[in-house]
């Protein structure tokens, strides 16, 4: 059956696939909300006992064949939904998800649940954590460095990462303690950051503490890391955008004897800096419905009007694109990657990434080579 569905889906147009996916996602949310509502009744009436299970958790895992985490999150949402039925409506329309509900459950009360759920609509996990940090600020954690024990085989394969339910499940249902997030907001503008470092990194940190002792008497690790990151970002910015107080001068190249003006794909550093600032260090691709891509990693400089079509390296014609959208727009202009590979002689998996400057790299390479050939012919007749 699933194979047949895949075959049928493969016959749909691109627009039909997108529309179908959105509709199926909505149906899945509605089905999840309905399942949680029924689990709430099953849990309240203890109907799992007659099915040979000692708890709702065991019933979900052994009878419904849900994963341990899926069972935990749905039971937690079911118990919360029984107290605050609006949760089921919000789950059904996609305003909140199971992760959001799990984060909010300990803080929900009859007095604040409406406001808190409203504030958490359509927010990411990190944003919800920041919301809770504002609601209940936690004290700063003390700076510390300690050597971790050598992991044992049992520690390398921990059990399911499931905090106890409220009211608690039986001890047999969940054993492992909650896994702490790597970065967690403690209060507005304050975060707890936890990571494991190598012996070499630890030695560098200790040396930095010693050298900064006159400026940071207590050797606070957070202050040392902040200064290190500030210096690193300054160096990275200089390397990436050639940050300088001097303006880049554009030199007009003379025409060759064949009347060809050698062009360059080079994007001036000041253009890169202005584009990065204007686009906020984020992919500037905007979908037809107005949704902007949120990617901030693997960004490349993209020619809106392709270089091969005469597009210039100006602030107006250069935008930031993530690697995926840079390649996507290249295919919209030049066709599928296989077509580009045959007609440009450039590996389609690497051309955009290597230059990071839009969908015209293959043609640009040929134009550039032609210009170089004409210059060499003139120099060496």
Reading phi first (left if > 0) and then psi (alpha if -120 to 50, else beta), residue 281 is in: left
**pLDDT for res 172:** 42
- How far separated are the first and last CA of the chain, in Å rounded? 70
Q: What is the pLDDT of the chain when averaged over all its residues?
A: 77
On whether the CB atoms of residues 262 and 371 are closer than 8 A, the answer is yes
3-state percent helix, strand, coil for the chain, nearest multiple of 5 = 50, 5, 45
> What is the pLDDT averaged over residues 135-140?
76
Structure tokens at 302: 């993209």
Task: Please list the residues that pair with 300 across neighbouring strands.
Answer: 321
Percent of the chain exceeding pLDDT 90 equals 40
- Higher pLDDT: 125 or 356? It is 125
pLDDT > 70? residue 306: yes
For residues 264-275, b (16+ Cβ closer than 10 Å) or e, as one string? ebebbbbbbbeb
pTM over 0.75: no
Across 185-209, average pLDDT: 79
Residues 348/341, Cβ–Cβ less than 8 Å: yes
pLDDT tens column, 62-114 = 999 999 999 999 999 999 999 999 999 999 999 999 999 999 999 999 999 99
- pLDDT, one tens digit per residue, over 30-47 is 999 999 999 999 999 999
Backbone angles phi, psi at 193, to 5 degrees: -120, 130
* pLDDT confidence band for 151 (50 / 70 / 90): low
pLDDT in tens, 160-177: 455 555 444 443 444 444
Q: Where are the beta strands (DSSP E) in the chain?
A: 183-187, 190-193, 299-303, 318-322
Pull the structure tokens for residue 87.
């949760």
Structural domain boundaries of the chain? Answer: 2-140+163-184, 196-241, 269-379
Q: Which band of pLDDT confidence, cut at 50, 70 and 90, is reported for residue 242?
A: low
């Amino acid at each position: 059956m699933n194979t047949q569905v895949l075959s049928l889906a493969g016959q749909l147009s691109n627009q039909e696939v997108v529309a179908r996916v959105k509709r199926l996602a909505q149906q899945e949310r509605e089905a999840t909300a309905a399942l949680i509502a029924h689990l709430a009744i099953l849990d309240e009436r203890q109907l799992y006992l007659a099915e040979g299970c000692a708890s709702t958790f065991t019933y979900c895992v052994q009878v419904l064949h849900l994963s341990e985490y899926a069972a935990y999150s749905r039971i937690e949402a079911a118990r919360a939904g029984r107290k605050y039925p609006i949760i089921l409506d919000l789950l059904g329309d996609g305003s909140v998800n199971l992760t959001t509900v799990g984060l909010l459950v300990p803080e929900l009360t009859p007095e604040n649940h409406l406001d808190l759920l409203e504030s958490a609509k359509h927010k990411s996990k990190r944003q919800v954590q920041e919301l809770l940090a504002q609601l209940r600020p936690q004290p700063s954690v003390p700076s510390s460095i300690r050597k971790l024990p050598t992991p044992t085989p049992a520690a390398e394969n921990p059990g399911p990462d499931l905090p106890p339910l409220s009211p608690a499940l039986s001890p047999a249902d969940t054993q492992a303690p909650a896994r702490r997030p790597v970065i967690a907001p403690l209060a507005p503008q304050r975060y707890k950051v936890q990571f494991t470092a190598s012996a070499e990194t630890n030695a560098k940190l200790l040396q930095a503490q010693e050298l900064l002792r006159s400026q940071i008497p207590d050797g606070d690790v957070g202050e040392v890391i902040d200064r290190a990151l500030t210096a690193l970002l300054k160096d990275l910015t200089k390397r990436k955008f050639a940050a300088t107080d001097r303006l880049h001068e554009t030199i007009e190249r003379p025409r060759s004897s064949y009347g060809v003006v050698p062009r360059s794909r080079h994007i001036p550093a000041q253009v890169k800096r202005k584009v990065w600032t204007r686009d906020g260090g984020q992919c500037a691709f905007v979908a037809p419905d107005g949704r902007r891509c949120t990617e901030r990693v693997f960004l490349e400089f993209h020619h809106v009007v392709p270089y091969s079509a005469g597009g210039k390296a100006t602030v107006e014609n250069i935008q930031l694109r993530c690697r995926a959208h840079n390649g996507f727009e290249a295919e919209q202009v030049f066709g599928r990657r296989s077509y580009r590979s045959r007609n440009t002689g450039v590996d389609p998996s690497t051309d955009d990434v290597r230059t990071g400057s839009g969908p015209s790299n293959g043609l640009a390479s040929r134009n550039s080579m032609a210009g170089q050939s004409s210059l060499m012919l003139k120099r060496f007749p």
